[in-house]
Amino acid sequence: MSCKIVIVDYGMGNLFSVRKKLYRLHANAIVSSSPSEIAGADKIILPGVGHFQKAMENLVSSHLMETIQESVLVKKKPILGICLGMQLMAKKSEEGNVGGMGWFDAEVVRFSVQDTLKNKIPHMGWNQISIVKDSALMKNIPNLSEFYFVHSFHFKSYNKNDVLNVTDYDYNFVSAVEKENIFGVQYHPEKSHDVGAQLLKNYIDL
């Protein structure tokens, strides 16, 4: 039987586009806000679009934080954070000036670009990724592949060993991270055509 993937519904967007993409890959995936469903998952996806502080408040108020922390840190189940979902894995964010999950020695900061005409904020559209370490998540994904981004804040990692991808937008920022069973991508694989589908397939196959 295929592994069960739960896409966490904590009220912060783009859940069903992720589920649709997973269905096309014949994955056993559901969207749920149930702690027991999440606890019973083999793998977890934490998507999200919106405000960091609101996302953390929603995770706490919906009683999902404890379940996710136990699944990831104690039971060592794979988790993939997408966009805001990746940002929540940091220690803190300037967006709301609140703490995050604390899984990475990192913070989330607002883009500070010099040329605001050339590099508009939010960073929106297609951009290349540079793969900086070997990873099963990057299997059959060429270096400098283009993924779709939409964000005004970005991940700032203080441990270079956690960095999986970097992307240039006026300067290099961290666009994917990996540590043990924890994966995060700033871009949207569900909106990134074939290369995004490959990344999600790689996650399913872990």
Tell me what pLDDT residue 130 has.
Answer: 98
pLDDT at 117: 83
Tokens encoding 85: 């979902």
Query: What is 4-204's CATH superfamily?
Result: Class I glutamine amidotransferase (GATase) domain (3.40.50.880)
The answer to whether 192 touches 186, Cβ cutoff 8 Å, is no
Q: How confident is the model at residue 13 (pLDDT cuts 50, 70, 90)?
A: confident
The confidence score (pLDDT) of residue 115 equals 84
Q: Is the pTM of this model over 0.85?
A: yes
Q: If you average pLDDT over residues 64-86, what whole number do you get?
A: 97
In the prediction, which pLDDT does 14 show? 77
Taking CA atoms, 85 is separated from 33, 73, 119, 134, 186, in Å, by: 15, 16, 24, 22, 8
Residue 81 to residue 146: CA distance in whole angstroms: 18
Task: Mark 106-128 as b/e (b = at least 16 C-beta within 10 Å).
Answer: bbbbebeeeeeeeeeeebeeebe
Helix, strand or coil, per DSSP, at residue 5: strand
Across 55-64, average pLDDT: 94
Q: CB of 178 within 8 A of CB of 162?
A: yes
Q: What is the mean pLDDT of the chain?
A: 96
Contact 196, 188 (CB under 8 A): yes
Q: What local confidence, expressed as pLDDT, does residue 116 receive?
A: 82
Least confident of 14-18, 55-59, 135-139, 143-147: 14-18
Residue 2, pLDDT score: 75
Q: Determine contact, residues 93/52, Cβ cutoff 8 Å.
A: yes
pLDDT of 1 over the 70 cut: no
Q: What residues does each domain of the chain span?
A: 4-204
Q: Are 59 and 94 in contact (CB under 8 A)?
A: no
Active centre residues (catalytic): 83, 188, 190
Question: What pLDDT is recorded for position 27?
Answer: 95
